[in-house]
Structure 1
Amino acid sequence: MVNSVIVGDSGGMAGRQLREPRGPRAARRGPRAWCLLLVALLLTACTGAVDLEADPATEVAIGAATQAPADEAVLIEGSTPATLALGASRTYFARAGIVVIAPSGDDAAQLRAASIAMVLGLPTLVMGEEGTQDAVVAELERLGTHTVLVLAGADVPELSPDLPFLRAVPAPEDPAALQVVIGRDIAGEVPVPAGTEVAALASAQPPFDWLLTAAGTEASDPTSDASPTDLADLPGLPPFRTPVRLTNNALVSDGGAGQVAALGTARAAGASVVITSDLREDSAAIAALFGIAPTHVVGIGAFGDPQEFSYRARVAATGVELPGGGQSLLDGKVYVGLRGSAGAPELGSLGEQGVEETMDRLLALGSTTASSSTVVPTAMLLTTVASATPGTDGSYSGKRTVEDLLPFVEAARDSGVSVLLTFQPGRQSMLEQVELYDELLRFPNVGVALEPGWRLAPGEVPGTQSGVVAADEINAVVERLATLTTEAALPPKMLAVRLATTSTVSNPQDIDATRPQVQVVLEVNGGAVTAPVEEAAPLPDGTLPPAAPVVTAADIWAQATAVPWGSGEGLGWWGWAQGPVQVSTPELFGLDPSPVLVVYP
């Protein structure tokens, strides 16, 4: 099972209330201010009114400026705390006069730095990691940083000689002293057990006034280490306003190591965090993203390449799930169903009853299938049917209209049934026919099944020849489905290709099975399975005829799967089309590899 951790309420976490000091100015105001006022009053009483020089104005600037990620979905690349922190800073902040600096190799310090950054609304960078010092300096220069809050053990970066002096302010370990230095109240400390740092950062809630500390570190007593005089002597950050934090932004993390500083930066900027190892299968993560309604999603961790993550993130944010749950087509699922056309019993079992009764039959069929995987009831719906007559368009292929098929597709969607629009294209290209049904393909539960054996060349007539197609014609449909699915942010589509023989596709190794938006399934025709003859009639001479060879499902399966079909990860996906002699379910699921699609005629 895939678990997810989403943004939650941390208001119940226990900690000490520390709100006595209220920043450096509160610590430093004392009798001196009252003495100056008294002297001024005495001067006025003795000599009359005098003009006193005004105190110099103190400009309270915004400490940082957040920015929305550059694209709708962004994957932060990197694997170490410093590189990930740099990626988060570049993604979420346009400038930052003040930056929190944490040391490399110190998980506790990085957690503390991330927590402080969340309180202040500032980015966190990690200093000291080999090979990243120049990149950290370049990021500080891009941000226009003039002050760094440095945790113990971290080096202070040196900027270019022609840039302004970088002021370094130590971050005290004592919470009361830290309040004075940062000019913000801290409600208390929350101990975080090792291994749960990412979850703790994800579940923290505004106003982020609890300080997250590594469990096992000794908590400081705010009254024992520093007297009021000591607090008054502490160097503090320049006065600044917390930046406007982003809304409707999400960061998806796989919870991997080294992400703490980066997540602190993301949360400081206003992003919500969802933790999951697989966006495709994790229904809780999908629901969490949908609830956030993000305009931008950022990924950090092992989520494939940036383009694949962008697609997965956009789809997950819709909250739409496939039949059987999640947004993954095949992992942990097997599709079992019927073939035919609604209202046409002569074309198969799918049309032997009304639409509502068909849904009930499909659901019952799925519930009785012996498989350890989630069984998804499936309708292989004949959408175009090869014909012996050319028809009005000369295609030798009759077509059901979108309006005619729409009630069936809607009923299937409402019942949790998967639909494969099935095409027998005659003399038309498969792409020409598939494009006619874009409206139906926008339903998340609808995919495509191609029957290349009914794809004929000019001059050929269905029923007299068996069609043979090249992989590029199938790939044109793959491209169309990938484009449609990406543009509409739909979950991936199944594309089943039915093989009348192993030569139905002339160059099978060129089938494109690399797209995350389309899962290609090769469907083996089980019609060649023959039952053993129990008792043959003797010949006129009294002898028995030679026994006809018995063709088993294992024979057909082994022959088909031995062919080097397809390229990429889709290579191992196969389906089985039951023939007149039907193979038992236990026998089918005992094949190697086990079929992911089983269709009854």
Structure 2
Amino acid sequence: MRHIIRGVGAAVLAVSLAATTVACTSSPEGESVAAAAFEGTRVAADPDATGADAARLLVDSAPIAVVSAPDDAAIARAASVAVGLRAPMLTAEKDAGEAVSEELDRLGVERVLRVGDADVPDGSYEVVDAPAGREELEELTGLEFADEQEPAAARVPETVADLDPGEPALLVVGDVPGPEGAEGEPFSALDAAWTEDDAPRVLVHDETSVASVATAVAAGAAVSHLGAPDPRVDGDSVEAVSGADAVLALGPGWGSEDQLRDRVEKARTVPELPGGGQLLFPGRRFVAAYGSPITPALGILGEQGAEESAARVQRLVDEYQPFSPEPVIPAFEIIATVASTSPGPDGNFTNEWPVEEFVPLVEAITDAGGYAVIDLQPGMADMLDQAKLYEDLLKRPNVGLALDPEWKLEPGQQPGAQIGSVDAEEINRVVHWLADLTRETGGPQKLLILHQFNMSMIANREDIDTSRPELAISLHADGHGTPEMKFETWDVLRSGLPSDIWMAWKNFYDEDTPTFTPEQTMDVEPRPWFVSYQ
């Protein structure tokens, strides 16, 4: 579809959508003819943080632009004005003058509104300095700011994504230098490049430059701020791309356009996790009841029936939710193989209970909108061999796996007589099998928990393969005792841990003195993504 944006002279020419092969032309009547919105997926990584990449992708031409100094206060104010004027925004980052100059020339800008001490290169455009005072700024821009907001600097991208050009707000992060009065002819707001019906979907996140976000909002795009640069991160991101003909991702971290295209397709087709989306983190946190239906001696999960356990963990979730910005999801961590002091018929010092024993628990937590984790205490058995026993359960989209090296034995050892250990090589065999299973079944990302409370429990931990995108690997710190003891264990386990392993925490009702409250648990740094109760 082609659409026409009407204007009166150069001062009100509409910002027009960029397309790779279509230029903006003017009709004899002075109308601006914009290109049709393109389909598919595009990425503007914006490596210099000027916003020029996004402007090239989003805007074909504009008579005015806003250029800010690279400090937080100027950037926030410039974004406020750019959105209100529906004008593209650039940030004059250090050593990026050429990129800014080239983009202003490409846009055909006639007037630049400079915010703060921005180094605006010389060009064929007029440069007007934004005044320091709010009233003078409103006089120069012709805007009436509905209110003032004072977001933290780190929250400005998200705040800008939520701005409404029809009701502009002034974002205040600090003082911005400028002249005392309004100098020059007032600016006039432009028309949006798109209507609500034909606007492309634009994805941004916390690391997207504010200039990029502001340009997208100003142009009339449907902008969604995500918790991570991936359209599968949560239910909102899935909804954002589900019906979009064009998906444009701005900022670093999205990968190539082919990778983004694949992720968008998976967001649209792969079953979602409890809480929405197909990636486990950072879109949610879990609170779990730990134990086995075989006996209450192993944890709280065996102290009542399946439905009662689901209700019990939901009460915990309700206590945690006020302290988590992410949705908190109920979970069960079900001990499926239990280490034994007796070698048993197969001589492996572990009791491997049949799948049927755990189906009621898995179905109960599924009905409660939650997640189940199958926990293995392998004894002398190979961890991969044990994991394969529960393949039917692990094929389910809301069932993950936990490995507990404490109960991994060498010949001649017995459970409880020493702390067990496992090498990263054995863990990696489980990693690849579980990742392959997840890919083959077409499910969402699957959780793999590694239990640890002593560094000796996982040999060559740095060699654990975290590269498989089908899995989210979590290190579960199982330390108990006083708060000082638990924090000491927590800090030791985090030392040298790969950055893409997610931390988990355990609260003990009997062994902790005292048991942490939900608020205390969520105050742990870094805040745990998975909390279990034993």
TM-score higher than 0.5 here? Answer: yes
Cα offset, 1:379, TM superposition: 2.7
The question of whether the paired residues in 2 share the 8 Å contact of 1:492 and 1:519 is answered with no
Cα offset, 1:405, TM superposition: 3.8
1:278-427 matches, cutoff 5 A: 278=227, 288-293=236-241, 295=244, 296=247, 298-300=249-251, 305-306=253-254, 335=287, 337-341=289-293, 350-351=301-302, 353-363=304-314, 378-385=331-338, 388-389=343-344, 398=352, 400-401=354-355, 405-415=358-368, 418-425=371-378
Q: Residue 517 of structure 1: SS of its match in structure 2?
A: strand
The question of whether the paired residues in 2 share the 8 Å contact of 1:386 and 1:462 is answered with no
- In structure 1, distance between residues paired with 2:364 and 2:44: 37
Aligned match of 2:514: 586
Task: Look up the equivalent residue of 1:204 and give its one-letter code.
Answer: D
CA pair 68-192 structure 1, distance change in 2 beyond 3 A: farther
The question of whether the paired residues in 1 share the 8 Å contact of 2:271 and 2:397 is answered with no
Cα RMSD (Å) of the superposition? 6.3
CA pair 110-74 structure 1, distance change in 2 beyond 3 A: closer
Task: Look up the equivalent residue of 2:222 and give its one-letter code.
Answer: S
Aligned match of 1:249: 201
Aligned match of 1:11: none
- In structure 2, distance between residues paired with 1:270 and 1:496: 46
Larger Cα Rg: Structure 1 or Structure 2? 1
- In structure 2, distance between residues paired with 1:219 and 1:482: 62
1:509-520 matches, cutoff 5 A: 510=463, 517-520=472-475
Task: Look up the equivalent residue of 1:522 and give its one-letter code.
Answer: A
- In structure 1, distance between residues paired with 2:45 and 2:309: 44
Gaps of 5+ in 1: 1-20, 28-55, 119-123, 159-167, 174-187, 226-236, 530-551
Cα offset, 1:415, TM superposition: 2.6
Asked if 1:567 corresponds to 2:497, the answer is yes
CA pair 90-502 structure 1, distance change in 2 beyond 3 A: same
Q: Residue 511 of structure 2: SS of its match in structure 1?
A: coil
TM-score by length of 1: 0.53
Deviations 1:108-161 (A, max 9, x none): 77755554546xxxxx364876533432455578x6x6x434346676647xxx
Aligned match of 1:450: 403
Aligned match of 1:523: 478
CA pair 87-587 structure 1, distance change in 2 beyond 3 A: same
- In structure 1, distance between residues paired with 2:383 and 2:127: 68
CA pair 247-114 structure 1, distance change in 2 beyond 3 A: closer
- In structure 1, distance between residues paired with 2:339 and 2:372: 20
Q: Residue 477 of structure 2: SS of its match in structure 1?
A: strand
Task: Look up the equivalent residue of 1:259 and give its one-letter code.
Answer: V
- In structure 2, distance between residues paired with 1:511 and 1:22: 60
The question of whether the paired residues in 1 share the 8 Å contact of 2:404 and 2:451 is answered with yes
CA pair 564-464 structure 1, distance change in 2 beyond 3 A: closer
TM-score by length of 2: 0.58
- In structure 1, distance between residues paired with 2:317 and 2:169: 51
- In structure 1, distance between residues paired with 2:9 and 2:30: 16
The question of whether the paired residues in 2 share the 8 Å contact of 1:481 and 1:493 is answered with no
The question of whether the paired residues in 2 share the 8 Å contact of 1:100 and 1:117 is answered with no
Aligned match of 1:233: none
Asked if 1:132 corresponds to 2:96, the answer is yes
Deviations 1:429-464 (A, max 9, x none): 43454466566457675443212244456x779769
Task: Look up the equivalent residue of 1:266 and give its one-letter code.
Answer: A
Aligned match of 1:13: none
Cα offset, 1:88, TM superposition: 1.0
Aligned match of 1:87: 53
Task: Look up the equivalent residue of 1:413 and give its one-letter code.
Answer: T
Q: Residue 350 of structure 1: SS of its match in structure 2?
A: helix
Task: Look up the equivalent residue of 1:493 and give its one-letter code.
Answer: L
- In structure 1, distance between residues paired with 2:458 and 2:111: 65
- In structure 2, distance between residues paired with 1:170 and 1:560: 55
- In structure 1, distance between residues paired with 2:183 and 2:146: 12
The question of whether the paired residues in 2 share the 8 Å contact of 1:470 and 1:505 is answered with yes
- In structure 1, distance between residues paired with 2:303 and 2:260: 43
- In structure 1, distance between residues paired with 2:474 and 2:497: 12
- In structure 1, distance between residues paired with 2:305 and 2:205: 47
Aligned match of 1:23: 8
Bigger relative contact order, structure 1 or 2 (CA pairs below 8 A, ≥6 apart): 1
Aligned match of 1:204: 164
Task: Look up the equivalent residue of 1:495 and give its one-letter code.
Answer: I
